[in-house]
Structures are given as C-alpha cells and as structure tokens.
Structure 1
Amino acid sequence: MNSITTITPARPVAVRTRLRLTTRGRRALMTVATLPAVVALGVGILSGGGALASGDAGTPAGSFSTVTVLPGDSLWTIAQDIAPDSDPRDVIDEIVRLNALPSTAVDAGESLAIPASYSAQAAE
C-alpha cells in the first residue's frame, strides 16, 4: 500500500502595487491635461473680439453716435446725461460692450460710441 502523494509547486502570486507619481510626474501630467484647454482659450481670445474695436463690419454705421469725454466725466455721468430715464448700469454696460473697453475707466478727450437708441433719447 504504497500511496504516492504528488506535491505541486505553488504558483507565484503577483503583487499589485499602487501607481505612485512623483511631484515632477504630477506636474507633467497636469501640463499635458491642461494644454488643450489653454490652446483653445488662446485661439478664442485671439480670434474673437469686439466687432467695433476690431474693425470688423459687425456694427452698422448708423447704429451709434459718438461722445467725447470731458474732464471730470465718468461713464456714470455720461450714462445719466444721454439716458436720464434708463438705469445707468444698463447704459454703462452697453457702452462698454460697444466700445470693447477693458474697464469702466475713461480718460478726458476719449471718443466713445453711444448706442443710437440712447442718442435719440438725448436729442429729445
């Protein structure tokens, strides 16, 4: 009664490790991940601008009149002068968009385009 026992060798178990990124690797990964967004934003900024400020034919010639900023004037005072019945904040917003101004600060002697709807109110 001989019994023969066969011993099979155990299979090696693969040890799984977590992916570990160094600081340099994280920076590289973030750069690669954000690059398409940065490129798209840059293209959008360079190609899109205010139609009046860029010289495009986007604004018809009769849709605005011009006003010269006097010393001591601000967009608020100009908005109150040209449209006394309208909310000055709305008028200022339209002037800023029409002239593609970077902020609401204006300098004396500067010429601003005023929407024709407000220049008609000022004439009355």
Structure 2
Amino acid sequence: MSAVLMSESVPTLRAVPPLPEGARVRLRLTRRGRAVVSALVALPLIVGALVFALNGGGAIASGEQTHASFHYVTVQSGDSLWSVAERVAPSADPRDVIADLVSLNGLQSAVVTPGQQLAIPAKYEK
C-alpha cells in the first residue's frame, strides 16, 4: 500500500511542446518588474543630481575680505549717461561705457538725475 501512496504524491512532469519555427516568446513585464526597471534607470539620475547639487557650489567663500574702492562722478544738471560716459572715458565707445555704468551701478534704466553719484569702472579711471 505504501507504493500506491507514494506514486500519488509525486508530481508528474509534462513535456513542453517545442515552439514552431520563427515563433517568438513574448515576455511580459509585471507591475513589480516595471517598478524595478524604473528604479534602476532613475537611480543613476538621482545620484548624479545629488552629486551636482552638493558640488555645484564650486565657489568657496574665504575668510579674507577684499575692499573695492571706486571713484565716483556726480551727475550734473542736464547730464545724461551719454555725456557722463564721454566725460569719464573720452577715448572709449560711449555705448560700452554706458553699459558698464548701468551694470556696475545696478541702474534699472539709462535715466539719471542731477546729484546722483555713479561709480566708475576701474578700467575707465584716469
């Protein structure tokens, strides 16, 4: 009797029929498989972004302070940035001087008022 019980508990193996010629096996990706693939693709991007964010601030502030001193010119009545630029740097192109004055002084427009003090870029100092 033990032989009969033993033969009933052993699983039977079935032969898998061979695939026809030219047939392809289609693999399907499960939800968990898609999550794993997405994580594997995203991981290097996340690591790269973190490395860039942590190393992106390449400029290191030093404890030393440097003091920049500027020469200033006071805008007279009837002056424009063009006349100031010609007075400050007569040999330079006034358009370049005006662009430097606007940038250095943080002007919102090219309009100046009498009595306003403008810092002169070092390259135009006499």
For the superposition of Structure 1 and Structure 2, which TM-score range results when normalised by the shorter chain? 0.3 to 0.5
Bigger Cα Rg: 2
Q: TM-score, normalised by structure 1?
A: 0.47
Q: TM-score, normalised by structure 2?
A: 0.46
